[in-house]
Structure 1
Amino acid sequence: MKPAGRAEPTSRQPVTLAANQPDRFYRGGAAIAELRGAADAAEWGPEDWVASITTLFAQPRAGLSTLPDGTLLRDAVSADPAAWVGADHAKVLGDDTALLVKLLDAGQRLPVHVHPSNSFARSHLGCRHGKTEAWVIVGTSGPNPTVYAGFREDVDAATVENWVAAQDSEAMLAALNPIPVKPGDTVFVPAGLPHAIGEGVFIVELQQPTDFSVLLEWTGFAEPGDPSAHLAIGWETALTCVDRDGWGGRVDDLVLHTADRRSPVVPLFTEQTEPFFRAERIHADSAVDLDPGFSVLVALEGNGTLRTEHGGAVPVKRGDTLVVPHAAGSSQVDGGLVVVRCRPPAPEKVEAS
């Protein structure tokens, strides 16, 4: 325990983060407002970027998270990477947290789109990271909440090009595998996989820390000719990042059903996500101990406390989002909290990504 009256360095303290909702191109946000206890959902956008060191595509600052003292999280991590992300992580990735967490509330169906891989991003976008992502379903509304992932059958390049040129939304959506979802489900979306999120699906999204999206379906979401739809590299190049293989027989490998699991720590993904991120759901019906490590917490239920070895104690209630530095040490949550704990890739797995 720290001596009375002695403040801990910021890089040791868990930090409760305010909402961070940059402008996006689709409707939503009511579920985020409800979770956070906001009075007026109309003022809330469809995404809340939590513990973000990432900016919107081609923008210098929008999307970055700010700590309560006004410092950008990006700058705080850069000033003391070992304290924030741990020495092993810093040896591999430096001051890069390698993680972006979002609350995403689809107030309308998102467009069919795709994200590039690490190798594509290095070759064409000058970036270490592509954008592999995964969805933790935390709420749904409407009669048939559904997400879509991967083409049902193999699709040739000319067909994809024709769909995009004609903006044939009906054909693109029909070509994807529909996946009915409910709270507790998780869906892994590897880079290259065409996908969409249906109206009424509320998720905690983990992803690599970029804003790289190729909008196969841009009508109604981007202005005609907007270069951001193809990442400003042209359609001919952008479309080479699309996984055109058929996933009809293996899409179930991307999905886990965890709603009925109530152990203190519930893994939310399989080992296939470890080169990119990790996550678990914590059920603190009694106190639950957590190992040290940079993490982002999203509180879904309860009203309790996060106690840390070196960073003191922080009250946590439903709707709170927190970033926990590695230097906070071991921690414990209690009070009946249900928390999604999001973590960066396992350092020893990063080279394999």
Structure 2
Amino acid sequence: MQPVALSANMPRSFYQGAGRIDRLRGTPVATDPYHPEDWIGSVTARSGAAPSGLTTLPDGRLLAAAIAGEPERWLGPEHVAAYGADPAILVKLLDAGERLPLHVHPNRDFARTHLSSPYGKTEAWVIVEAAPDAGIHLGFARDVEAEELAGWVRGQRVEEMLAAANRIPVRPGDAIVCPAGVPHAIGRDILLVELQEPTDYSVLLEWEGYDIEAESGHLGLGFDQALRCVDRTSWSSGRLDDLRRARRSGRDVRPGADRLFAEVADAFFAAERLHPDPVSVLDPAFSVVVVIDGTGTLEAEHGDPVEVRAGDTLLVPYASGECTLRGGTTAIRCRPPRPAQPIAAR
């Protein structure tokens, strides 16, 4: 089964990009900046806006329909036994042309109880490009009382919220996990690969100045209920370091492949940095490959070679078998969590 080179899938958003995805690909920069994300290999629709966000394959089929027709060939028998015909991951290229608003994603317990979903939205970022002064806000630097948070949100006292949050400088190559519930905001002038649970759930703590209404920010629950998903505890430097540290024994998990993210990400997704020397070996698994520089060739055990270059995005089905990446290139391979036990019944 052949790896699939994907076209861009860039739904309209409420914040602006800065053309970094187009420049990575060597294509003309779009005139409309409100398409700052590429949803790669997506079977997840924008909240309340389906089919926006869903990936269409080159043959015209929705990826979701193709997987439903042949789930084991796309995902593998162990994955299907644990998650059904569901990739259990969403991958994006994200270009922050402006600071994103401070927001939070619910965890699985909150999502099961209030949103009838087995997934929350833990996410993680691999920084591809960042301006010298670029940074993210991640977690509150002190404990915040529920009434204090509610007052900030009601009054849109953004400066007070940001002052209470940790700001962390980032640079290309950083890999950072953002657990569900933790307030965060990606700063401007950053291009990243984002891995996340396959939902579009966000609780906005901030919306003024963005092309979005407050009513879009509480998941239809009202803010009194929605703000209960927020982790208001203090995120000390030690706790933050646990989200950013290099993975134990992550180097050379296979030839030319380094495992990214601390172990806290393992229940949700996995990522590898591929750096052929002279090859990178990809074991059989459903995965998304984002090429971030150079040119090369992706060779599949079952399929023809695919020439790749910076900015290309590819789907690798389980049935492609073992693959190798060759050439002067670097890529990020994104994959679902390894099956352990079935996720809660849907």
Q: TM-score range by the shorter chain?
A: over 0.9
- 1:342 matched to which residue of 2? 334
Indicate the residue corresponding to 1:50 in structure 2.
40
Give the total of aligned pairs: 337
Could you give the per-residue CA deviations for residues 89-120 of structure 1, whole angstroms, max 9, x where no partner exists? Answer: 10111111011110001000000000000111
Q: Taking every aligned residue pair, what percent have the same amino acid on both sides?
A: 50
Query: Which runs of no fewer than 5 residues in structure 2 stay unpaired?
Result: none
Once the two structures are superposed, residues 75-101 of structure 1 have per-residue CA deviations (whole angstroms, 9 ceiling, x without a partner) of 111111111111001011111101111
CA distance in structure 2 between the partners assigned to 1:30 and 1:153 by the alignment: 36
Matches within 5 A, 1:101-250: 101-141=91-131, 143-224=132-213, 226-249=214-237, 250=239
Whole-angstrom CA distance in 2 between matches of 1:121 and 1:248: 26
Deviations 1:180-216 (A, max 9, x none): 0000101100000000011101110000111100000
Q: Give the match's secondary structure for 1:42.
A: coil
Residues 43/256 of structure 1: CA separation in 2 closer, same or farther (3 Å cut): farther
- CA shift at 1:177, angstroms? 0.7
In 1, Cα distance between equivalents of 2:341 and 2:282: 21
Cα 1:78/1:18, change in 2 over 3 Å: same
Q: Structure 1 residues 121 and 222, CA, compared in 2 at 3 Å: closer, same or farther? A: farther
What SS does the aligned partner of 1:119 have? helix
**Residue 73 (structure 1) aligned with residue 63 (structure 2):** yes
* 4+ aligned runs moved over 3 Å, structure 1: 349-352
Paired with 2:207 and 2:104, the residues of 1 have a C-alpha distance of 12
Q: 2-side partners of 1:98 and 1:58: how far apart?
A: 20
TM-score between the two structures when normalised by the length of structure 1:
0.92
Distance 2:244 2:53 in 1: 29
The alpha-carbon deviation at position 252 of structure 1 amounts to 1.3
Q: Distance in 2 between matches of 1:282 and 1:62?
A: 30
Q: Tell me whether 1:26 sits opposite 2:15 in the alignment.
A: yes
Deviation at 1:40, TM superposition (A): 2.4
Report how far residue 29 of structure 1 moved.
4.1
Distance 1:301-1:262 versus aligned 2 partners, 3 A rule: farther
Structure 1 unaligned spans of 5+? 1-11
Q: Quote the RMSD (CA, aligned, Å).
A: 1.7
Look up the match of 1:5.
Answer: none
